[in-house]
Amino acid sequence: MMNYTTSVIRYPREATIFAACCAIVFCVVGVIGNSVTVLALIRCPKLRVHATTAFVLSLCLSDLIFCSINLPLTAARYIYEAWILGEALCKLFPVLFYGNVAVSVLNMVAITLNRYVLISCQHYYNILFSKSAIWIQLFFIWGIAFLLMVPPLLGMWGQLGLNPSTFSCTILNKNGKSPKNMIFLVGFILPCVVIILAYSCIYYSVRKSRKKLRSHQPISDKRSGRREKDDSRLTKLMAIIFVCFLTCFFPLMLVNVFDDHEIRYPVVHVLASVMAWASSVINPFIYAASNRQYRSAYSKLFRIVKSSVVFSDSKQPSNNFRPDRNSVTYKPSVASDM
């Protein structure tokens, strides 16, 4: 049985308190923001028809799981500066953490490829992104992401457990071997390379098509022009999401690869972790700030909630007593007072 309360503290107390506060704030904001986004997208018919929306919903669900499970456990870990939640949760924590990171990256790969096929290979779009094809892709995204964690979970390649020096539940070496670097390579670096190449191809295709349009079709159909603008805005939005995700997770990847054993810079580890947690919170704000269709979906949801609240309030019984017209009111006669 592992001792989860004995630890060698490597972090300044100010850093652990800061990390715990950030985890709690991100937990509350992330659960609310991602839940609202899921409801808004599901209730918006205009966005439901986009194949991209399915992958965005999958991304929100992954962030919601992270905010509702991983972040509360992380807050407890930093508050107590020890792992006090038992062996089972210590093994579940890295599965959900690394699995959700892989799900997020693979969803972004699917979104990027969706944008690329729509812009550069439109004749394949209806085949590759039919309803059944989207469900199959989502199944593989979630399956591959969590299958990466099966070898360390079963102790076949590395193992999951507590690192006492950092009081963190993570992937540990077993017999001198660990799949951590392979998981970062397959689950993070390779997908990021694919995304960067795909967005480069998208940029080249859009630039090329615009030049053709200007030279051959000076007057274009308004409806097709509006559709192209919407697709362009959505592509830019997804590119912003990826850049923000990369910015948030890249520092954590660097410290995990280059400073994983000695922990020479503990405060840097804390800041890198906080930046990684932020990636599960910022997406709803990016959707609202960067895209008109997503803002419209949010506003429609808020109007529905507001109208339902007003309707429920109007059904409450009034405190003001209004006598019935047919009721008889007793009035004493003037003669009786004389």
Give 246-265 pLDDT, tens digit per residue.
888 888 878 877 766 667 77
The pLDDT of 279-295, averaged and rounded, is 82
Q: Name the most confidently modeled range: 107-116, 199-208, 237-246.
A: 107-116
CB 242 within 8 A of CB 199: yes
Rounded CA separation 46/292 (Å):
12
**119 domain residue, yes or no:** yes
- Calculate ∠ Cα 17-22-25, nearest 5°: 125
Predicted confidence (pLDDT) at residue 326 exceeds the cutoff of 60: no
Predicted confidence (pLDDT) at residue 2 exceeds the cutoff of 60: no
**212 domain residue, yes or no:** yes
Rounded CA separation 117/49 (Å):
16
Q: What's residue 215's pLDDT?
A: 59
Two tokens at 108?
């972004």
Rounded CA separation 95/81 (Å):
21
Predicted confidence (pLDDT) at residue 282 exceeds the cutoff of 80: yes
Question: Pick from 114, 252, 238: which is nearest to 183 by CA?
Answer: 252
Q: Which helix (H) or strand (E) holds 128?
A: helix 125-128
The pLDDT of 40-56, averaged and rounded, is 85
Q: What's residue 317's pLDDT?
A: 58
Predicted confidence (pLDDT) at residue 322 exceeds the cutoff of 70: no
**332 domain residue, yes or no:** no
CB atoms within 10 A of CB 156: 12
Two tokens at 33?
């923001």
**69 domain residue, yes or no:** yes
**63 domain residue, yes or no:** yes
**247 domain residue, yes or no:** yes
Q: How many structural domains does the chain have?
A: 1
Predicted confidence (pLDDT) at residue 199 exceeds the cutoff of 80: yes
The pLDDT of 232-238, averaged and rounded, is 77
Rounded CA separation 189/208 (Å):
29
CATH of the domain at 174: 1.20.1070.10
Q: Which residue has the higher pLDDT, 185 or 274?
A: 274
**334 domain residue, yes or no:** no
The pLDDT of 157-180, averaged and rounded, is 85
Q: What's residue 21's pLDDT?
A: 96
pLDDT in tens, 103-138: 988 898 898 898 888 888 888 888 999 999 999 999
Two tokens at 286?
């990016």
Percent of the chain with pLDDT over 70: 80
Report the DSSP pairing between strands 159-163 and 168-172.
antiparallel
Q: Which residue has the higher pLDDT, 218 or 138?
A: 138
**314 domain residue, yes or no:** no
Domain that holds residue 131: 13-299
Two tokens at 84?
């006090």
Rounded CA separation 241/259 (Å):
27
